[in-house]
Structure 1
């Protein structure tokens, strides 16, 4: 029995102040977005990666001039012909955005964003993209100024290298967050970013007052490496209910300690979070909740067209499982299905065809598919 994916339609965003939305007053799951971000995703050859600052495979911030330079070079180093639309795309981006969009579009959950975006063309693109999937943007402040951008370079093997430009981007301030932003929601999805810690702490403080659970993504191995001490303190605060780390981030988390490996990192995270998950790429994932530990293999073929968003969409599936009351193993299986769906095409936005692929994988695994999959 087949399943059919049908994207939701919503608003096109307000011109100023808060963006409009028609997907409910109190989203079940919120994403914290201090600065909205637009992704420019492109397939490029190896030579370009050697010419730009930072290590391949990670995320390294650049200034606007460098961003423009990379975008120009992308046209030269693009792996496909210029008339091949599958070789590049521009969409609403960022880890939290990918997770929230996945929850709304693939799993049919009520979702929203709290934060800010610029009033420029990129901001309009962000609002239009997220609104088309029914994401509630009434908590997303539209501000004068630019919207953050990121170049996502995808190599021949499907590995992605990120170069975000956050300079002068429109940003929400900690004192602008109010209890009404979080009222009635169940989960708040955040990404570790040292530049946004004041906003993150303010959001968590208010969210906790409203009984909202906190899901944290560790962002990138560079972020963990450079700001490990404040991250450890953040985790040890006890405010994080669920933490996602990939294998590289887990390694950096315990760097220098004896026996540092993904399993040890999982144990460390589980001491401070109710749920801890370490994703292992083609080797699946490991997760722990209380005294229960599970290991689940990856779903589908190992070869990825583009790894962008794999961890973000894994988080979508795992959170869906938690909301639906599934077991830890089932949450991991749904996460593996959704993570496997996004790597089959370019960018962190799952195509309708790949949502169908995910639903079929879920059916095969004996998992109940979301109600929005007709």
Structure 2
């Protein structure tokens, strides 16, 4: 099989910390992913195939070609040490890393990476922030990569290369992976549907709550039926959707709007959240509905990870027993912290910015020894 489990040394609590204290929150990311992020001028975007603004899969040759072109079209500012930022990525990895790094919540990741440079980078990045990687398998082969091109208006165009990437299979999941954890974080993807169903089945057997992110409006549009079946199963406890995904979910229904999308999600999930970018979010739990504005002045450099980091803050709030409005406010603070720099990783200065916003809102700032 050419597969090995990664030990968790260099991580919080030493080699077998995962066995003694299971992570409070687990993320399932079947394929580890590395992002190459760069701010570029318009002319490059017009040269690459596919629409700008979306996400469109490419082969490795195309990915390498775009990376070589990036060096010519880079928009670097004087304070950038390196014009292309290469970091561990993926929606779930962003959420989990945010919870570990910014909120001190013990987290683990389930998935697989290749035994290449990118795989090693993913592992060392997760370890660096104290994410438990003992459930991450290293396989022979390549790790998924994505080029994220950010334009002058902070919009991003993504070209992922996922072909032949190392991926964990549904039959590799074990009950021990989930035992003792409180939450499992998932992202909807049709290519991962089998493993998502398998993970939910085990999570429910182990009494673990499940959080689902709707991923993208294209994913909701093309695979709406499978998504509705997933939601209607009653196994999703918390669902995050952005404005576009929520709109897509109820498209064609009578009186379809964001409120009706929220109602629909809340009918099937204990907690339903629709994020509205610079307009904050709306959320529902039981009979309670809240609307929370965005927090802090909007200074978007790159919107990558805003929804992922919103989820970090919201989940932290739930784990700490905060009420619905407070959970939304923490989410708004953490979502706002990541858009102030390139990529889905929050810088130390921006964690401090988040703590300041939380203090202003009267929220308890996480201590480093949580």
TM-score (norm 2): 0.94
2:30 paired residue among 9, 34, 45: 34
Aligned residues: 360
2:71 paired residue among 72, 75, 90: 75
CA 1:155 to 1:39, structure 2 compared with 1: closer, same or farther past 3 Å? same
Partner residue in 1 for 2:60: 64
For 2:206 and 2:217, how far apart are their aligned partners in 1?
A: 32
1:11-22 matches, cutoff 5 A: 17-21=4-8, 22=11
What's the secondary structure of 2:134's corresponding residue?
A: strand
Report the CA distance between 1:58 and its aligned residue: 2.8
CA contact (8 A) 1:88 1:346 kept: no
Which runs of 5 or more structure 1 residues have no equivalent in the other structure?
Answer: 1-14
Between 121-130 and 217-226, report the one with greater CA deviation: 217-226
For 1:82 and 1:76, how far apart are their aligned partners in 2?
A: 16
Partner residue in 1 for 2:209: 213
CA 1:245 to 1:161, structure 2 compared with 1: closer, same or farther past 3 Å? same
TM-score (norm 1): 0.93
Between 53-62 and 24-33, report the one with greater CA deviation: 53-62
1:78-125 deviation digits (Å, cap 9, x = unpaired): 112799335420000010000000000000000000111110000000
Partner residue in 2 for 1:344: 340
Which runs of 5 or more structure 2 residues have no equivalent in the other structure?
Answer: none
What's the secondary structure of 2:180's corresponding residue?
A: coil
Runs of 4+ with deviation above 6 angstroms: none
For 1:153 and 1:207, how far apart are their aligned partners in 2?
A: 36
What's the secondary structure of 1:85's corresponding residue?
A: coil
Between 256-265 and 334-343, report the one with greater CA deviation: 256-265
Report the CA distance between 1:53 and its aligned residue: 3.5
Report the CA distance between 1:235 and its aligned residue: 1.2
What's the secondary structure of 1:224's corresponding residue?
A: helix
CA 1:66 to 1:226, structure 2 compared with 1: closer, same or farther past 3 Å? farther
Partner residue in 1 for 2:303: 307
Partner residue in 2 for 1:9: none
2:122 paired residue among 119, 123, 126: 126
Q: What RMSD, in angstroms, separates the aligned Cα atoms of the two structures?
A: 1.7
Between 89-98 and 364-373, report the one with greater CA deviation: 364-373
Partner residue in 1 for 2:252: 256
CA 1:52 to 1:257, structure 2 compared with 1: closer, same or farther past 3 Å? farther
For 1:128 and 1:118, how far apart are their aligned partners in 2?
A: 13
Between 106-115 and 214-223, report the one with greater CA deviation: 214-223
1:71-110 matches, cutoff 5 A: 71-80=67-76, 84-85=80-81, 87-110=83-106
1:112-160 deviation digits (Å, cap 9, x = unpaired): 0011111000000000011001100000001100000011111111122
1:211-235 deviation digits (Å, cap 9, x = unpaired): 0111111111111122122111111
Q: Which has the higher contact order (CA 8 A, sep 6+)?
A: 1
Between 102-111 and 147-156, report the one with greater CA deviation: 147-156
